[in-house]
């Protein structure tokens, strides 16, 4: 599916290759148990709220790569933006599409804040959306 976006986003995949130039966090039962990432906005918001406290506890080398959490730009993103403001004292003005929350943690909206509802599925063609993946379309 991501190969279809290669032309528009050359930093996503190397030309002529199926290798991603980014790492996607796959859903596993272990990750679900350790990070409580069960899917949806609420667990992701909790992850973001607790990130600073958990990050500070790491005694060894800290992550050198960014951790990017993507949210649809809809009513669900309001809760995460409010949580960031409350717990990190950071504001995300209209017109911004991402915010650096803490150290290597970023929150990215699927479109600029204040530009109307937009979800990640808007980036895919009807043919791509019609495909079944892991028993889901």
What is the rounded average pLDDT of the residues 6-16? Answer: 78
* pLDDT (average), residues 52-57: 92
CA geometry: angle at 115 spanning 70 and 7, to 5°? 55
Question: pLDDT (tens digit, 9 = 90+) per residue, 101-127?
Answer: 999 999 999 999 999 999 988 888 888
Closest to 48 in 3D by CA, of 61, 65, 31, 35: 35
Whether residue 73 is predicted with pLDDT greater than 90 in this model: the reply is: yes
Cα angle 109-117-52, degrees, rounded to a multiple of 5 = 30
Average confidence (pLDDT) over 9-22:
81
Overall residue count recorded for the chain in this entry: 137
Beta bridge partners of 102: 105
pTM of the model: 0.82
Q: Between β-strands 67-71 and 105-109, what pairing exists: parallel, antiparallel or unpaired?
A: parallel
- Mean pLDDT value across the chain: 88
pLDDT at 95: 96
**pLDDT tens digits for 80-99?**
999 999 999 999 999 999 99
């Amino acid at each position: 599916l991501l190969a279809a976006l290669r032309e528009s986003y050359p930093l996503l995949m190397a030309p002529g290759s199926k290798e991603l130039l980014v790492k996607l966090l796959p859903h596993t039962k272990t990750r679900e148990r350790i990070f409580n990432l069960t899917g949806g906005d609420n667990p992701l918001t909790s992850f973001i709220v607790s990130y600073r406290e958990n990050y500070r506890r790491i005694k060894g080398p800290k992550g050198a790569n960014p951790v990017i959490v993507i949210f649809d730009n809809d009513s669900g993103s309001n809760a995460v933006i409010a949580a960031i403001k409350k717990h990190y004292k950071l504001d995300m003005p209209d017109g911004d599409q991402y915010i650096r929350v803490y150290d290597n943690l970023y929150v990215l909206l699927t479109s600029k804040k204040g530009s109307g509802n937009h979800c990640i599925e808007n980036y895919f063609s009807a043919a791509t959306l019609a495909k079944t993946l892991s028993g889901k379309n």
